[in-house]
Structure 1
Amino acid sequence: MTAPDGPAWEFLLLFAVVIGGPLLLERARVPGIIGLLLGGYAIGPNGFGWISQASDTLPDLGQLGLLYLMFVAGLELDLALLRAYRRSAISFGLLTFAAPMAAGTAVGFALGWGAPAALLLGSLLASHTLIVYPLIRGGGLGSDPAVATAVGATVLTDTLALIVLAVVAGTAGSAASTWEVLLRLVAGFAVLGGFCFYTLPRAARWCFRRLGGERTVRYLVAIAGFLAAAVLAQVFGIEGIVGAFFAGLALNRLVPNEGRLMDRIDFFGAAVFIPVFLVSVGLILDPRVIAQPSTLGLAALFVVACVGGKALAAWLARVLLGFSGSRAGVMFALTTPQAAATLASTTIGYQIGLFGTSVVNAVLVLILVSLVVSPIAGRRFMRQVPRPSATDRPLGARVVLAVSTVEPPPEVFRLAARIAAPDGGVVHPVLLRRESDPAHDTAAVSALEAAASAHGVDGAGAVVVDRSLAAGIAHAAAAHLATLVVVDGPMWSDTAGVAPPAPVLEYRGTDGALLHAAPTPDLAAELGRRAATSIDA
């Protein structure tokens, strides 16, 4: 008998940590991410030594997980909120980047570090990850101006942090002059930006419409997209995570947060890729180094610079942007957590020799502190913020497309998709049946979803059976919390005793469209701008 070894053994250990680590830590009210880091330490060379220092399996897979993490970070950002609150988001983004950036850089110089290491430290402290956002959104504050401002600011802070990382990583250890490196980076960002924000969305849209009927194809196109962006970034000496993040931003509108494709991306990310990256970071965790006074001293400085800088930015937002104290507290809670970009910059700084093991372990302590402080602050301040009205949801947030056949005209799909697109919303196709109609078969939903996918609609299909088509429309809209219902044809005529829970737009082919549910002139005008049909209100 021999001791277990090889990829099968390493993957068994990996998935044991992924399953058990978060469960054990969350029972102690500690964020599950800490369980993954500690589990990586336990199985790594500094723990029980079950995975040796020479193993490349988990570190290589962890690098893929790092790219995946930054891709998902770009996909999940709400760009509609950024557009709606762009002025306050840009202002707060600059504040919440500049304050910890300056503090972290000052700490680096005070420690005697060179400019590249000090600037990289400042940038990693300036970034943040929206780990607390699900908690805030679950409390009903997803559309609050302060929350929207903090979410929008994330685009700016993470982009600036990644640009600093690209410049530092590109100049560190390079034999070329600084001007040559900067010229290469400028050219690289220009090419990368053109690929990500022009070529990639068009190519992905074409693939989604031509090949999107296959469930796996849409997912594989998204994965290939961010990998292509990462490879292109590396060609110009830019870290691959910058390309992955930009690819996420570029595909943001094509992948609604509540669509089926985003469900698959989240599933594989949460189940495999992102946990693998966190476990791979835990492999270099060393409690003997953390317990050293020098490491604890570094961690204390990092915490003061990061948390203090984020608190200062939130206070300045209260003074300069007119937010209340409780809203400023929510903004602090949203922008303090350190995870995705922080771990990415720290890992790369360690790989290129700017950071030592003590710095990496000190940053892990910072991450732990930020993940404990932020939810506490979020729960405290969110209770003091008034909840927005439910009617404040964007028009295209959740569009229900009600049809009576599995092959409706393509124009009705495009109409619903055009209405949802500006808000990054999702369209849910619903097949309506009366109780007196023949029973539908199970292939009906699949056929409807395939037809919807071919026209850029990514929502989950469903069948609703009711006493009348109008009643089915009303119940489908209520079940999906619809902000608008698009109906294929005059199915809203039999409305006796039925009150629509959302505005209803009947598509009538060449005759245009008819808007029901007492529309306001503003609503009709907005629908007219989004749709390519005439609207009679």
Structure 2
Amino acid sequence: MLAQSPIIAFTILILVIFTVPPIFERFRLPGLVGLLVAGVVLGQNGLNLLNSESETIKLLSEIGKVYLMFVAGLEIDLEQFRKTRNRSIGFGTLTFLVPLITGIFIGRLFNFSWNASVLIGSLLASHTLLAYPIVSRLGVVTNEAVTVTIGATIFTDTGALLVLAICVGIHAGEFTALSLVTLLAGLAIYSIVVLFGFDWLGKEFFRRSGDEQGNQFLFILLALFIASVGAQVIGVEKIVGAFLAGLAVNDVLGRSPVREKVEFVGSVLFIPCFFVDMGLLIDIPAFVKTLSSVWLTLAIVVGLIGSKFVAAFLAKLLYRYNNAELLTMWSLSLPQVAATLAATLVAYKTFNSAGERLINEGVLNSVIVLMLVTAIIGPIITSRFATTLTVPQANLATNKLSSWWQNSMGEVEEQTPTPSPFTVVVPIYNPKTQRYLIEMAALLARHESGRIVPLVIAVGRVHMDDPQLNAALSQCRQRLEGALEISQEFGVEASPAVRIDDDVALGISRTSREENANLVVMGWSRNTGLRARLFGNVIDSVFWSSHCPVAVTRLLNSPTKIQRILVPVGNFTPQTIGAVRFAQILADVNQAQVVLLHVCDRRTPQAQVSKFESQLSEIASQSKLHVNTSIKTIVNDDIARVIIREAEAFDLVVMRSTRYRTAGGLAVSEVTTEVIKELNCSIVLLGEPHS
């Protein structure tokens, strides 16, 4: 009864997805490994609570499979690809062809047919950027070797899926030269229609729909499934269409809130269901038998690791990279998760007229072992060697808030003087926190000889004479009177503004644009959790839509009393260094002390720690402000816990707002979120436009 009831099966799946990944992540194992293990335990060889042949599991797994490939296409950074297009294509060709040839050789060595051997080669040819959050956190994404590897993903994944489409077509029926040409021609036309047609339609729809995020979300889902169905119509596997759809709407979504929602729905529900189904398919006796005759598994694992290294080594010789860049490229291209698992499952479930599978259980089980091995060692190697990469540093020697942001983004300041003074927009809503917000904005504006714009938003009504709107406007004017009194205390010019808008976040962003603001200072929002992730909150929306930096503050005391400021520094990205400058400028107002905290794990060599401290000291001394800035380095694996402990002795912590995801769409826990929940002091969270 349990296995046949759709509601019970779905409930078990939700329970597994909710509980299992966090347990495995505590042991520093990928959460997806836990989902695979849960599938084995709940499947036919375990408790027999779930059946991979049930309609519920089939539906959710199929959606998860196409969603996984869609997100893989969506997460490829086309902007990075365009920057180093030629070298990305060059390394993509190497890291595709070398593993492909290796896989074909392994297949023939173990007496597989030519078609199955080519398919095995294509499974090794792709890669998943599982370690991208690591290089992003370390601030080395702008290193050319990393950029080239990221760009190569579009080539390897596309090539692997095209090979899969041809191999599946050959295995499924009578295949002649004419049918092959027909398939390739149809695939070429279909790809052009999806890549260019969906891109154009998406941009038009988003332009016309404005801020209707619900309809935009549905449009993206519709594009995904139309592309998947279209792929089946022309005779290729639906994951090919899903991947192309992800590439097609990549530019359309950019870094919009809709993209966050699309990835969120997939990462918390459908993609985990796919991994649980993979676990259900594992036949324990067959898996043990495969591992007992270890040669096939060993050949595939060693062949993949060796061929990826050879490809990276050839790229090193070709483009004259150093050893650290070689090892980083190798480790980034090692993990075999998204395209590999999806294509393996497709091949395993493909039968010919005689009822024979395209690949047998031995290959399926070997690929699962390959996924486990590469998903673990790839990020470990990346975290070890990516820390030694170098990136060009921006010149941030400034003593003005009005210029630190442009410099931190590597932009050239205009030579002509700006016609308007430094402007800080301060949205106010809560009378209890209004005073500290205005004080913070006034301190910064006074430092820059600028002005503040206290802003209140009244939610619009259908009728402008609505009594509720009149009452709201009256309250708004009362708040502005209080803001004017505080600004007068600090001797800062204030230009109060009242705006009627249906969307509070857009009202803030539009006003800051109209006022040519240099900074937005906002209060903290408690709207977090599931609702905020699905529908977003005001802070997320302002981060997305604002044209200037946004400082979100949780102030427990008056900013005038801030004497010690803590800035956690984990990398040397321009935005992080900009946060250091922000803290120094804020400290200059109160003659406060700034401490730059760097937490490194126990495996970091002492020479590397010393080098980081030296670079951080140089950055701190570049400021033209006479601020007492010191550096503190702590060796500990629990970064969040160290920051929370150290922050107890400080009045304020300044952090950057960052989000990290894997290319598989599985969310990665971020230190910032954990720290914010437990800090007992004031916080400033800096967000850049389009963050």
Quickly name the TM-score band, shorter chain normalised.
0.7 to 0.9
C-alpha distance after superposition, 1:90-122 (max 9, x if no partner): 111011111111111100000000011100000
Give the number of the structure with larger relative contact order, counting CA–CA contacts within 8 Å between residues 6 or more apart.
1
Report the Cα distance in structure 2 between the residues aligned to 1:395 and 1:44, rounded to whole angstroms: 56
The equivalent residue for 1:62 is 61
The equivalent residue for 2:519 is 474
C-alpha distance after superposition, 1:259-312 (max 9, x if no partner): 201110111011111111111111112333222245532221111111111111
Report the Cα distance in structure 2 between the residues aligned to 1:3 and 1:82, rounded to whole angstroms: 48
> Tell me, which stretches of 5 or more residues in structure 2 are unaligned?
351-356, 395-406, 413-422, 428-451, 456-482, 485-495, 523-538, 550-577, 580-691
**AA partner of residue 230 (structure 1):** S
**AA partner of residue 231 (structure 2):** A
Please state how far the C-alpha of 1:448 moved relative to its aligned partner: 4.3
C-alpha distance after superposition, 1:421-473 (max 9, x if no partner): xxxxxxxxxx9645542555684425649xxxxxxxxxxx58779xx956x42
**AA partner of residue 380 (structure 2):** I
Please state how far the C-alpha of 1:481 moved relative to its aligned partner: 9.3
Equivalent residues of 2:52, 2:58 under 8 A apart: no
Equivalent residues of 2:227, 2:245 under 8 A apart: yes
**AA partner of residue 264 (structure 1):** K
Report the Cα distance in structure 2 between the residues aligned to 1:267 and 1:224, rounded to whole angstroms: 17
**AA partner of residue 270 (structure 1):** S
Tell me: CA distance 1:190–1:368, structure 2 relative to 1, closer, same or farther (3 Å).
same
The equivalent residue for 1:183 is 181
Larger Rg: 2
Match of 1:379 among 380, 383, 386: 383
Tell me: CA distance 1:268–1:195, structure 2 relative to 1, closer, same or farther (3 Å).
same
The equivalent residue for 1:300 is 298
1:135 aligns with 2:134: yes
The count of corresponding residues between Structure 1 and Structure 2 is 441
Please state how far the C-alpha of 1:237 moved relative to its aligned partner: 0.7
1:276 aligns with 2:273: yes
Tell me: CA distance 1:266–1:9, structure 2 relative to 1, closer, same or farther (3 Å).
same
The equivalent residue for 2:614 is none
Please state how far the C-alpha of 1:3 moved relative to its aligned partner: 5.7
Match of 2:203 among 197, 202, 205: 205
Equivalent residues of 1:23, 1:32 under 8 A apart: yes
Please state how far the C-alpha of 1:485 moved relative to its aligned partner: 4.6
Equivalent residues of 1:120, 1:168 under 8 A apart: yes
1:194 aligns with 2:192: yes
Equivalent residues of 1:212, 1:218 under 8 A apart: no
Equivalent residues of 1:100, 1:126 under 8 A apart: yes
Tell me: CA distance 1:287–1:389, structure 2 relative to 1, closer, same or farther (3 Å).
farther
**AA partner of residue 237 (structure 1):** G
Tell me: CA distance 1:440–1:158, structure 2 relative to 1, closer, same or farther (3 Å).
same
1:246 aligns with 2:244: yes
Report the Cα distance in structure 2 between the residues aligned to 1:4 and 1:241, rounded to whole angstroms: 27
Report the Cα distance in structure 1 between the residues aligned to 2:424 and 2:238, rounded to whole angstroms: 44
The equivalent residue for 2:76 is 77
Equivalent residues of 1:68, 1:274 under 8 A apart: yes
**AA partner of residue 247 (structure 2):** L
1:60-459 to 2 correspondences below 5 Å: 60-175=59-174, 177-256=175-254, 258-292=255-289, 293-294=291-292, 296-352=294-350, 353-390=357-394, 433=454, 435-436=483-484, 437-438=496-497, 443-445=502-504, 448=507
Secondary structure of 1:141's counterpart equals coil
Report the Cα distance in structure 1 between the residues aligned to 2:237 and 2:500, rounded to whole angstroms: 50
Report the Cα distance in structure 2 between the residues aligned to 1:483 and 1:53, rounded to whole angstroms: 44
> Tell me, which stretches of 5 or more residues in structure 1 are unaligned?
397-401, 407-430, 450-460, 488-500, 503-537
Please state how far the C-alpha of 1:219 moved relative to its aligned partner: 0.8
Report the Cα distance in structure 2 between the residues aligned to 1:71 and 1:403, rounded to whole angstroms: 40
**AA partner of residue 309 (structure 2):** A
Equivalent residues of 1:326, 1:381 under 8 A apart: yes
The equivalent residue for 2:478 is none
Report the Cα distance in structure 1 between the residues aligned to 2:242 and 2:2, rounded to whole angstroms: 39
Equivalent residues of 2:99, 2:124 under 8 A apart: yes
Please state how far the C-alpha of 1:54 moved relative to its aligned partner: 3.8
Equivalent residues of 1:295, 1:361 under 8 A apart: no
Secondary structure of 1:57's counterpart equals helix
Tell me: CA distance 1:53–1:238, structure 2 relative to 1, closer, same or farther (3 Å).
closer
Secondary structure of 1:283's counterpart equals helix
* TM value normalised by structure 2: 0.60
Report the Cα distance in structure 1 between the residues aligned to 2:81 and 2:114, rounded to whole angstroms: 33
Report the Cα distance in structure 2 between the residues aligned to 1:218 and 1:482, rounded to whole angstroms: 16
Tell me: CA distance 1:20–1:191, structure 2 relative to 1, closer, same or farther (3 Å).
same
Equivalent residues of 1:31, 1:372 under 8 A apart: yes
Report the Cα distance in structure 1 between the residues aligned to 2:453 and 2:371, rounded to whole angstroms: 50
**AA partner of residue 104 (structure 1):** G
Report the Cα distance in structure 1 between the residues aligned to 2:319 and 2:411, rounded to whole angstroms: 27
Q: CA RMSD of the aligned region, Å?
A: 3.2
Report the Cα distance in structure 2 between the residues aligned to 1:4 and 1:95, rounded to whole angstroms: 46
Report the Cα distance in structure 2 between the residues aligned to 1:482 and 1:339, rounded to whole angstroms: 30
